[in-house]
Structure 1
Amino acid sequence: MVAAENGVPLRVQCLTCGANRKYRPPKPVGTKTAKKTTSRSSKKKAPKKFLDVSTLPVGEARPYAMDGIFEVGDILDHKKFGFGRIEEVFGSEGKMLVLFEDGERKLLCGKPA
């Protein structure tokens, strides 16, 4: 105890680091407040979509390029992710949602004129 008033401690010194702090009395046992918690499993997530590549007309696939202009339904060939089908194009953002064999991904694309 570093400082006290009428026998009530006001400041104490940490025995580990030596710092002086305002005294906080210990919390009474059994008066814990319940925390509001939500488990991750309780949140509803949309089911993941996967693409069955065996049904794609891969002969029509266009190679992916970040500046390429694509339309919904186009088939593209990505060097890393493989074949995919364009599900949605966000023209104003220059992005598109592509469904690949391992799931959905957002990719960059050119903005239409």
Structure 2
Amino acid sequence: MELTFVQLTTLGFAIFRLTHLIVFDKITEFLRSPFFDEIVEEENGVEEVYLIPKKEGFKGFAGRLLSCYWCTGIWASMFLYGGYMWFPAIFAPFITLLAVAGVAAVIESAVQSGNGLN
């Protein structure tokens, strides 16, 4: 099945937003936490928390995957594109929601950068 430019753009923004949601957003931190060890370091009175993927096994593999937005983006792409191809009635609204959120995130980042807030 061939994708139109609008479908490709919509999928692109949806994949961007889903990837960011999985890898970076605070709301999904509970999903990532079993796959990482926290290392706390203090320097000049400032405490920094670093997340290091677990060392071995499935948790290590998943931790390395979740710490790489390029890697997670591939899996998110396969999930959304495959779902759209096989179950369009279910996935189209979900993709549209993610795409709108992705466009909003890009606009918000541009506004914050323009205001010198970022």
TM-score range, shorter chain: under 0.3
Larger radius of gyration between Structure 1 and Structure 2 = 1
Identify, as 1 or 2, the structure richer in helix: 2
State the TM-score, normalized to the length of structure 2.
0.19
Identify, as 1 or 2, the structure richer in strand: 1
Structure with greater contact order relative to length (CA < 8 Å, sep ≥ 6): 2
State the TM-score, normalized to the length of structure 1.
0.20
